[in-house]
Amino acid sequence: MTYVAAPANWRLLLQLPSMWRVTLPIAQDLPDATAVSRDFARTALSTVVSGIKDDEISHVVLYKVHQRIAKAFRVGRVFLAGDAAHINNPLRGMGMNGGILDAVNLSERLSRIWRRETSDVDLSLYDLQRRGVTIEYVQKHSIHNKRNLETNDPDERDRFVMN
């Protein structure tokens, strides 16, 4: 994972086994059809590496950044975890890691209930605990990471790189 911090042209580069995933911002007024075109992708990627050819671009998709948290992670027998419970920008993997921790927390609670080691009251604590962590940590830090990546203040950017 590589982050390139720049106020208007930040980049997120993720190396996968057979390709790179590149995330970058686009202008709000850019039409969607233009943004997903191969020509636009090639031009945008040229800011990262030169000489990209069409056959080297697997696919191009638009990803709209949201910062939202569900009002509840449990309603009766229905539970939310991961992106169903909280959506945030992809910087530093806060959403993915938070989602994995949601699943671990919930599965441990369900397992204890199934083995009759605790009552279903324990399931209400899932909502309280994981939603609280999401508000106080996942969302807070993902918003902070994006703000720091886009900052014009060099001192603030240096502090971000050090953290």
- Could you give all domains of the chain from N- to C-terminal order, each with its CATH number? 2-56 (no CATH), 68-162 (3.50.50.60)
Q: Is 17 exposed, middle or buried (0-12, 13-18, 19+ CB in 10 A)?
A: exposed
Average pLDDT over residues 61-89: 88
R_g over Cα of the chain: 20
Q: Read off the amino acid at residue 36.
A: V
Q: Would you say residue 75 has pLDDT above 80?
A: yes
Residue-wise pLDDT tens digits, 116-154: 999 888 888 999 999 999 888 888 877 777 777 677 777
Quick one: pLDDT at residue 144? 78
Q: Would you say residue 91 has pLDDT above 70?
A: no
Q: Write down the pTM of the prediction.
A: 0.68
Average pLDDT over residues 74-93: 85
- Report the distance separating Cα 106 and Cα 157, nearest Å: 37
Quick one: pLDDT at residue 25? 83
